[in-house]
Chain A
Amino acid sequence: MTMVRHHTMLNGAAFHNVTSVADGRQIDQRGVTHGGQMKENCDEDKIEVLAHDTVQEMGDAKESERFSGSTYGEQPVGARVLDDRFQSIRWDNNRRPAGANVSFSQSFRRWSSNFGRSVKNNKRTVYNKTLRLMPSRIQKTFSIDRDLITTSVFDVDHITMELGQREQLMEDNPVAEQLRIEAIKSIAQKISTKRQIREHLAQTVHRRATTRAKSIGLLRRYRYSGRLYLTRAAKLAQRFVTNFELFYGSMKQIEGHFGSRISAYFKFLRRLLVLNFVLLLFIVSFVTFPQLLAGHDEAKQPQRNCHTQFHLSNLVSGEGYFTNSVMYYGSYSNRSFTLVPGAAEYSLPHAYFLTITVLVLATFVVISVSMGRSYRISFIESSAMVQNILTHKIVCSWDYGIANAKAAQLKHASILHELRAYLDDQQQVPPVANRWVRLRSTALHALAHLTVLAMISITAATLWALLARFDETEHFSSWSALYVVLISNGTVLAFGYACQLLSRLERYRQVATQLNINLLRHFLLQATIVGVLLAFWLTREHPTGCWETAIGQQLYRLLVIDFLISTLLLTSLRAVRYVLHTRYGTIGPFTLLTLPPFCIETHSLRLVYNQTLLWFGVLFAPLLVPVVALKFLIVFYVNKFELIYLCQPPVRLWRSSQMQTLLLVLVFMSLFGVLLTHGYIIMQMPVSTECGPFRGTQYMYQLFMQGILKLREEHLFWRIFVYVTKPAIIGGVLLTMGVAAYYLRAKSRAQIAKVRLLKELLSMEGKDKEFLLANLSKLTRSKDCPDEQLKRIDLMGAGGRMKGELSDRCYIDPCVTWRYEESPSKKRSPPQPPPSGAPSEVGCSGYQRFEDDEQLRLRKI
């Protein structure tokens, strides 16, 4: 019944007037958009046209005939829609403050400012940016004349109207429908509300379609159906992907127990696993399967046939039965054959070469892109917010995925610890920048770095010496992998302890720095070990036989033995430790046996190490891929078991997104190294003459160059190729990239500086505002103001901000309303400050709010 009363009180003139009072911004908008109407540049920016449409619908009350056709409840929609406006009218007419009205006008202002923003932005963000900022956060119930009305009805109408003003959404075609669904999804509202909105919109669309009925052209219909199928296919694919998320249950369990930071490691593992499965698919279908179909070469040297009996030890050594299997490079044929009679020939060497090179290159591209993206998201985009560290700690600290009381306790403790550390840091007087202190710490760091480097080079030298030694005797050379693995694993373990000790000495201020440095050191060590191995294998003499197969076997042994030692052996050691801890944890010497923390650094570095070996070895042993994939699969479960049962969750952690980026960077670096090595092998290493798909040529690349492209020296393409690969050109490209990176960095720095400036500006403006408000209140005090109102203005002028208690007080106080109506002459004077506390407050805080939006938008640019 209140609605009806509003309706009768409504008239167009009042509407115009009051809207402009309520929202000065709206006037501007109107002016602007009428200007825009002259241009009518619809194709370039549809939003502008939409804005024009908005104004027409809102400003022209007579146009409500558009709405009058349908009904909502018992009232015409037009009336309902205008009722929304009417809330603000009433607010002004009656000078009656009410909490919900406050938030309505705020949200309206928020919407309109966003609307202004949307004109500048591109089309896509309109939906993202505006819809969710509509009056979605008005959840309170409010009263009009003592009748409780929930806001949801009010919201539905309001949002429907806003949506209805977007022409793109309201067209009667499948594409617009899709957009509509997306838009409705992105409204932060309850499902029932969304459903109502959708129904209203559908009605409106239907009505408009019937009034503006015109037949759709054939072409357009095809376009629509095409896009519809496309979105449907995308949806289907998405459903398919979500159905097959690997290890869904495990990931949930891990996240529930330990939070998202640890699950970042498992996500990384899963990523590598998926990558390896893709590699496997291609390699098997293009290389191994054709080879199996073609069968063995008869011409192959038969002297190894005695080894073809399968033996269990072959699984570890990778020799014997495997030597002549499709596992290794050596057994692939260099023939071309026809798989299906009558069809074209299938050239295995080309397939081998192309598949592996293209796969490695594609992986490289994929990893570089994802690394770049991850880096951008976690470092560049958040770099401007260095000053917001504490706020992050508060706002983003709780991991909503935690589903376990113990994990929750741990999280509480770690948050407390972090806050405590922050506070201590704040209270501590920053140490005077003593030159000696600084010099000492720098010297200490340098010393530590030097020690680590020395350790690494000693390791490398020892490894080389050992390898050279092993190579002399037959027994050692075939089992050298075992020793190498033992040595490298042992070194890594010892190195880890040494690094811990060093980092305790170094005392970095930031935990993150310490973790990063530790990770880098470990990575350096592993890279050195791999580098030494590769260098040794590639430089030694290859008197007879297939050196490619030999390298493949070495790599196989490395991988398998690494699995046996670092995964199975270490885990069972941990299990023993766990049993000892739980059984005899309270007795004498066993109290020292606490559960070890789950060390994410070593685990993830091990993955990187394995993956590096795989990428390197895929050229020599294509079927290393399933071996590694299987290994990772087992490692996943073993690690999960270890994490849940045998280890303590680590206390110090990276931020999860940063950690992902770091790991990706490491993978990128190792893959880059592998690429360089591959390039060297392909271009410079003479292939063995008796085996493998490339026998008959001297270098691998020659086959590719001559065979596939059929290029001759004088061919244009060849000349271009040679020209492009000249060092000067490559150097130039690298230089350009460097310059570009420098430019981007400078730009981002400039933006940080700009943000700082703007922030200063903003706070200055806030001060200005306070000053002005204080002056205004003084002015009004000097005029004829009742005492009580004066007090209120005082309150408000002093703060210049909205206070919850105050508005509540006005809201509860019934005589406030009455007083406003008593003095109606003042209410239509927008430039004057409103004479009573609450409405002016609304205006002020709203105005302020809009300014914020504007500034924030500037900051974002």
Chain B
Amino acid sequence: MGQVKSQFTEDELQDYEDLTYFTKKEILYAHKKFKNLAPEKVGHNKNAKLAMSKVLEYPELKANPFGDRICKVFSSSNDGDITFEDFLDMMSVFSDAAPKSVKAEHAFRIYDFDGDDMIGRNDLKQVIQRLVAYNSDLGHNDIDQLINNILEEADLDDDGALSFAEFEHIIDKSSDFINSFRIRL
């Protein structure tokens, strides 16, 4: 894992260890992974900012229909570009050690496309479309019906959107969420 001479000082590692759910070794490993995305750039400057398209080459993000959303949520410049700290943050949230609550919070942000702090009909529509890879087999009427059913199930206060509390309520009861919302480093 850390056989190459480290780009980090002990203090920096300790700092990251305190702020994320990773151990020092895992942090170094994460950096290695990050470096693999753009070896020359990151080798030059360990905190280099990588463009979203570059980050989306990370296998798990590439396969994920919400890859760009994940980048945007974790990007500190809010445009999808990712620095190493953002990457570390991302991996920490997706790691096994992160508690359900932290994961739920980030999942909510990922699914909240328009950023209005509620998962509304449009957000749900996008989520469903992305989940089925924009397959035309699921028409607009079908999606509308799905959304109606979802809101009927989960929208407890009938305001036409899922608030964080409602979302968390769903997540809280789900035993699978923590298994599925996870990326191995």
**Chain A positions near chain B (C-beta within 8 angstroms):** 103, 106, 110, 128-129, 132-133, 136-137, 139-141, 181, 184-186, 188, 190-192, 194-195, 198, 238-239, 242-243, 248, 251-252, 255-256, 260, 377-378, 381-382, 384-385, 387-392, 394-405, 407-409, 412, 415-416, 419-420, 422-423, 426, 655-658, 759, 762-763, 765-767, 800-802, 804, 845, 848-849, 851-853, 855-856, 859-860
Interface mask (B62-79 → A, CB under 8 Å = 1, otherwise 0): 111110000001101010
Give the shortest distance, in Å, between B50 (CB) and chain A (any CB): 16
Whether A400 touches B109, Cβ cut-off 8 Å, given contacts A132-B102, A388-B170, A804-B116, is no
Q: Find out whether the CB atom of A191 lies under 8 angstroms from the CB atom of B25.
A: no
Give the shortest distance, in Å, between B179 (CB) and chain A (any CB): 5
Partner among A252, A407, A426, A765 whose Cβ is within 8 Å of the Cβ of B145: A426
Q: Find out whether the CB atom of A185 lies under 8 angstroms from the CB atom of B170.
A: no
Whether A128 touches B157, Cβ cut-off 8 Å, given contacts A140-B115, A390-B150, is no
Give the shortest distance, in Å, between B99 (CB) and chain A (any CB): 7
> B1-46: which have CB < 8 Å to A?
15-16, 18-21, 23, 25-26
Q: Find out whether the CB atom of B173 lies under 8 angstroms from the CB atom of A397.
A: no
Q: Which residues of A contact B107 (CB under 8 A)?
A: 395
Q: Find out whether the CB atom of A423 lies under 8 angstroms from the CB atom of B146.
A: yes
B138 sits at the interface (CB 8 A): yes
> B111-165: which have CB < 8 Å to A?
111, 114-118, 120, 124, 127-128, 131-133, 135, 137-138, 142, 145-146, 149-150, 153-154, 156-161, 163-165
Q: Which residues of A contact B64 (CB under 8 A)?
A: 398, 400, 402, 408
Docked CA distance A518–B173 (Å): 27
Give the shortest distance, in Å, between B89 (CB) and chain A (any CB): 5
Docked CA distance A765–B158 (Å): 10
Chain A to chain B: the 3 pairs with minimum beta-carbon distance, closest first: A403-B59, A408-B63, A188-B105
Partner among A185, A394, A412 whose Cβ is within 8 Å of the Cβ of B150: A394
Give the shortest distance, in Å, between A128 (CB) and chain B (any CB): 6
Known: A395-B111, A419-B131. 6 other contacts (CB 8 A): A103-B117, A390-B146, A391-B154, A403-B63, A415-B131, A802-B118
Whether A856 touches B156, Cβ cut-off 8 Å, given contacts A139-B115, A191-B20, A391-B150, is yes
Q: Find out whether the CB atom of A657 lies under 8 angstroms from the CB atom of B179.
A: yes
Q: Find out whether the CB atom of A399 lies under 8 angstroms from the CB atom of B180.
A: yes
Q: Which residues of B contact A198 (CB under 8 A)?
A: 18-19
B81 sits at the interface (CB 8 A): no
Q: Which residues of B contact A384 (CB under 8 A)?
A: 173
Q: Find out whether the CB atom of A401 lies under 8 angstroms from the CB atom of B183.
A: yes
Docked CA distance A103–B112 (Å): 14
Q: What is the chain A residue whose CB lies nearest that of B183?
A: A400
Q: Which residues of A contact B138 (CB under 8 A)?
A: 416, 419-420
Q: Which residues of A contact B179 (CB under 8 A)?
A: 260, 656-657
Q: Find out whether the CB atom of B180 lies under 8 angstroms from the CB atom of A188.
A: no
Q: Find out whether the CB atom of B131 lies under 8 angstroms from the CB atom of A398.
A: yes
Q: Find out whether the CB atom of B174 lies under 8 angstroms from the CB atom of A392.
A: yes
Q: Find out whether the CB atom of B133 lies under 8 angstroms from the CB atom of A188.
A: no
Q: Find out whether the CB atom of A400 lies under 8 angstroms from the CB atom of B60.
A: yes
Q: Which residues of A contact B169 (CB under 8 A)?
A: 856, 859
Q: Find out whether the CB atom of A381 lies under 8 angstroms from the CB atom of B175.
A: yes
Docked CA distance A759–B180 (Å): 28
Q: What is the chain B residue whose CB lies nearest that of A416?
A: B132
Q: Find out whether the CB atom of A405 lies under 8 angstroms from the CB atom of B63.
A: yes
Q: Which residues of A contact B180 (CB under 8 A)?
A: 260, 396-401
Q: Find out whether the CB atom of B85 lies under 8 angstroms from the CB atom of A191.
A: yes
Docked CA distance A184–B89 (Å): 13
Q: Find out whether the CB atom of A400 lies under 8 angstroms from the CB atom of B76.
A: no
Give the shortest distance, in Å, between A109 (CB) and chain B (any CB): 11
Give the shortest distance, in Å, between B102 (CB) and chain A (any CB): 5
Q: Find out whether the CB atom of A416 lies under 8 angstroms from the CB atom of B137.
A: yes
Q: Find out whether the CB atom of B117 lies under 8 angstroms from the CB atom of A106.
A: yes
Q: Which residues of B contact A377 (CB under 8 A)?
A: 175
Give the shortest distance, in Å, between B103 (CB) and chain A (any CB): 9
Q: Which residues of B contact A242 (CB under 8 A)?
A: 23, 25-26
Q: Which residues of B contact A759 (CB under 8 A)?
A: 156
Give the shortest distance, in Å, between A601 (CB) and chain B (any CB): 19
Q: Which residues of B contact A802 (CB under 8 A)?
A: 118, 159
Q: Find out whether the CB atom of A856 lies under 8 angstroms from the CB atom of B165.
A: yes
Q: What is the chain B residue whose CB lies nearest that of A152?
A: B76
Partner among B116, B172, B176 whose Cβ is within 8 Å of the Cβ of A655: B176
Q: Which residues of B contact A658 (CB under 8 A)?
A: 175
Partner among B76, B102, B167, B175 whose Cβ is within 8 Å of the Cβ of A192: B76
Q: Find out whether the CB atom of B170 lies under 8 angstroms from the CB atom of A419.
A: no
Docked CA distance A403–B183 (Å): 9
Q: Which residues of B contact A849 (CB under 8 A)?
A: 163, 165
Give the shortest distance, in Å, between A860 (CB) and chain B (any CB): 8
B49 sits at the interface (CB 8 A): no
Q: Find out whether the CB atom of B101 lies under 8 angstroms from the CB atom of A190.
A: no
Q: Find out whether the CB atom of A394 lies under 8 angstroms from the CB atom of B128.
A: yes
Docked CA distance A390–B152 (Å): 10
Q: What is the chain A residue whose CB lies nearest that of B160?
A: A801
Q: Find out whether the CB atom of B109 lies under 8 angstroms from the CB atom of A416.
A: no
Q: Which residues of B contact A403 (CB under 8 A)?
A: 59-60, 62-63
Q: Find out whether the CB atom of A137 lies under 8 angstroms from the CB atom of B164.
A: yes
Give the shortest distance, in Å, between B167 (CB) and chain A (any CB): 8
Q: Which residues of B contact A401 (CB under 8 A)?
A: 60, 180, 182-184
Whether A402 touches B165, Cβ cut-off 8 Å, given contacts A388-B170, A762-B156, is no
Docked CA distance A422–B131 (Å): 15
Q: Find out whether the CB atom of A181 lies under 8 angstroms from the CB atom of B159.
A: no
Docked CA distance A389–B150 (Å): 9
Whether A132 touches B101, Cβ cut-off 8 Å, given contacts A394-B150, A400-B94, is yes
Give the shortest distance, in Å, between B155 (CB) and chain A (any CB): 9
Give the shortest distance, in Å, between B180 (CB) and chain A (any CB): 5
Give the shortest distance, in Å, between B132 (CB) and chain A (any CB): 4
Q: Find out whether the CB atom of B19 lies under 8 angstroms from the CB atom of A852.
A: no
Sampled A-B contacts (5; CB under 8 Å) = A185-B18, A242-B23, A390-B149, A801-B161, A852-B163
Docked CA distance A837–B128 (Å): 33
Docked CA distance A139–B105 (Å): 13
Q: Find out whether the CB atom of B175 lies under 8 angstroms from the CB atom of A400.
A: no
Give the shortest distance, in Å, between A607 (CB) and chain B (any CB): 20
Docked CA distance A250–B168 (Å): 32
